[in-house]
Amino acid sequence: MTQGHDRPAATGPRELALRVNPIACEAHGVCIGLLPELIAADPWGYPIIRPGPVPLRLLSLARRAVTDCPTLALRLAEQPASPPRPDRRRARPER
């Protein structure tokens, strides 16, 4: 069995985020209609994607938005997992 030293050092948990190719997008709005929780329209109808990873509960809708995009402008991209939020209780100086 292969041990961890064979993996790239930067490999860790991955998250999926939506990305749009602004050249390919033709503002059809399919993705906006499918996933308003994560995608809004700008004044010209082009998608504005909320930054950050796709929440697990919205992943199937995000996949559908990707496959239903008529110009294949939308994709799900892997990104390194966000670092955990600091524990605020520990951030306070001790007395």
Binding site for ligand SF4 (CB under 6 A): 20, 25-31, 47, 69-71, 73-74
**DSSP secondary structure of 11-67:** ---EEEEEEE-TTT-----HHHHH-TTTEEE-TTS-EEEPSSPPPGGGHHHHHHHHH
Q: To the nearest whole angstrom, how small is the minimum distance from the Cβ of residue 94 to ligand SF4?
A: 50
CB of 82 to ligand SF4, least distance (A): 24
Locate 25 and state its tokens: 């997008």
Residue placing its CB nearer to ligand SF4 in the complex, 15 or 29: 29
Measured from the CB atom, the residue of 17 and 25 that comes closer to ligand SF4 is: 25
